[in-house]
């Protein structure tokens, strides 16, 4: 195989109670990338459509993640990458992660899969380092593994895939304002109280147990964040109304997607996810900021070949 065309899913990181450790992949939102082998050494980004992003290899997360893999592979030669960017950078649904994960997944396929998924996550994290100054894995892990993933430990890196209940749907509203991950990290406190810690790990354990048991009520009770959301939600106009509208429409829970500004809700069944979308649409039409809304099943496969 000389060339591969892939779908790179958008992802929701944190998922309320799992700051920096939990993430999930979406099915209906993502970038398209084409990666091909080249006799020329190194990585060249030959085309980007959809968004204005740097073509320079070391300034594009796909290039940086790809170089990390290339160096480890010892390959003589290189790759050309085309990115059709559907996920806006700074949207909070893993725009940089989709490109980082997609580049390394495609290169690994073209090389005959010499690397494990865990190694691919490590390469892709180099792209996240470029995008947000932190090599976090909570977007690239679900993009590569699919479904929900837990980053049990960063050192050593330990990724735990978590099962996805069949009827779980996400509704995501993306207000068209840009919040850079690096900026929304700066406003966070570096210490938390023991009381808040206890609430948070109780909820994270509850959410993981709920996902394993397909216990939607437990999932709903656990989708709470007493640490990050109260601080970051201030950056997102209309957050409180969107959240109460989603819960009143039957969502299991609602919170900030990644570092925002996107807001996600999880629901049991597509019908509820659609009712939540209608509520979001109605509320945000009054806020006066342009927005997109996505309804998606949880993607259990991660990055996939489409041609
Ligand atoms: P997101 O959470 O949506 O990934 P970030 O703020 O973390 O948003 O990352 C976006 C940053 O990464 C922007 O500064 C953008 O210019 C940079 N970037 C570099 N290459 C890419 C790429 N291929 N896709 C998306 N963002 C990229």
Write the CATH number for 180: 3.30.70.890
Helix (H, G, I), strand (E, B) or coil at 114: coil
Same domain, 27 and 159: yes
Same domain, 106 and 17: yes
Q: What is the CATH number of the domain that holds 125?
A: 3.30.230.10
Same domain, 131 and 176: no
Phi, psi at 66, each rounded to 5°: -60, -40
Active-site choice (34, 164, 171, 181): 181
Same domain, 135 and 213: no
DSSP 162-198: E---TTEEEEEEEES----HHHHHHTS-S---HHHHH
Instruction: Compute the radius of gyration of the chain from its Cα atoms.
Output: 19
Active-site choice (128, 164, 229, 275): 128
Chain centroid, CA 224 distance in Å: 19
Ligand 1 centroid – CA 106 distance (Å): 19
Same domain, 136 and 236: no
Helix (H, G, I), strand (E, B) or coil at 82: strand
Same domain, 19 and 144: yes
Q: For residues 286 and 289, what is the distance between their CA atoms, to the nearest angstrom?
A: 8
pLDDT at 167: 98
Same domain, 158 and 172: no
Which of 131, 137, 140, 294 should be mutated for ligand 1, with most atoms under 8 A from CB?
131
Same domain, 8 and 153: yes
Same domain, 30 and 158: yes
**Which residues contact ligand 1 via a Cβ below 6 A?**
53, 60-62, 83, 89-92, 94-97, 99, 131-132, 180-181, 258
Same domain, 203 and 244: yes
pLDDT at 180: 78
pLDDT at 77: 92
What's the whole-model pTM score?
Answer: 0.96
Same domain, 159 and 218: no
What is the domain extent for residue 15?
Answer: 3-163+300-305
- Digit-by-digit pLDDT tens for the chain (307 residues) are 899 999 999 999 999 999 999 999 999 999 999 999 999 999 999 999 999 999 999 999 999 999 999 999 999 899 999 999 999 998 999 999 999 999 999 999 999 999 999 999 999 999 999 998 889 999 999 999 999 999 999 999 999 999 999 999 999 999 999 887 778 888 998 999 999 999 999 999 999 999 999 999 999 999 999 999 999 999 999 999 999 999 999 999 999 999 999 999 999 999 999 999 999 999 999 999 999 999 999 999 999 999 9
pLDDT at 179: 83
Q: What is the DSSP letter of 17?
A: T
Among 102, 87, 129, 132, residue whose Cα is nearest residue 35: 102
**Paired sense of beta strands 78-84 and 42-49, if any:** parallel
Same domain, 63 and 114: yes
How many domains in the chain?
2
Ligand 1 centroid – CA 242 distance (Å): 25
Structure tokens at 240: 């409180």
Ligand 1 centroid – CA 249 distance (Å): 32
Clarify whether 128 is annotated catalytic. Answer: yes
Q: What is the DSSP letter of 298?
A: B
Nearest residue (CA) to ligand 1, atom 5: 90
């Amino acid at each position: 195989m000389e060339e591969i065309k892939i779908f790179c899913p958008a992802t929701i990181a944190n998922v309320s109670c799992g700051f920096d450790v939990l993430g999930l992949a979406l099915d209906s939102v993502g970038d398209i990338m084409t990666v091909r082998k080249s006799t020329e050494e190194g990585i060249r980004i030959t085309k980007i459509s959809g968004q204005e992003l740097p073509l320079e290899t070391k300034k594009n997360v796909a290039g940086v993640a790809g170089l990390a893999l290339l160096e480890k592979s010892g390959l003589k030669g290189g790759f050309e990458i085309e990115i059709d960017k559907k996920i806006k950078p700074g949207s909070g649904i893993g725009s940089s992660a989709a490109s980082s994960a997609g580049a390394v997944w495609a290169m690994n396929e073209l090389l005959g899969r010499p690397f494990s998924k865990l190694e691919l996550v490590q390469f892709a994290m180099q792209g996240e380092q470029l995008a947000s100054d932190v090599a976090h894995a909570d977007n690239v892990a679900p993009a590569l593994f699919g479904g929900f993933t837990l980053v049990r430990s960063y050192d050593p890196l330990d990724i735990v895939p978590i099962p996805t209940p069949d009827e779980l749907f996400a509704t995501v509203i993306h207000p068209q304002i840009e919040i850079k991950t690096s900026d929304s990290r700066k406003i966070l406190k570096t210490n938390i109280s023991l009381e808040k810690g206890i609430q948070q790990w109780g909820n994270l354990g509850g959410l993981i147990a709920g996902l394993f048991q397909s216990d939607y009520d437990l999932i709903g009770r656990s989708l709470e964040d007493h640490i990050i959301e109260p601080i970051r939600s201030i950056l997102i106009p209309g957050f409180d109304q969107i959240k109460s509208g989603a819960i009143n429409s039957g969502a299991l829970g609602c919170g900030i997607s990644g570092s925002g500004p996107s807001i996600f809700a999880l629901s049991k069944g597509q019908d509820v996810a659609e009712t939540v979308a209608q509520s979001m649409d109605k509320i945000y039409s009054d806020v006066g900021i342009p927005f997109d809304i996505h309804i998606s099943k949880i993607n259990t496969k991660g990055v996939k070949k489409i041609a």
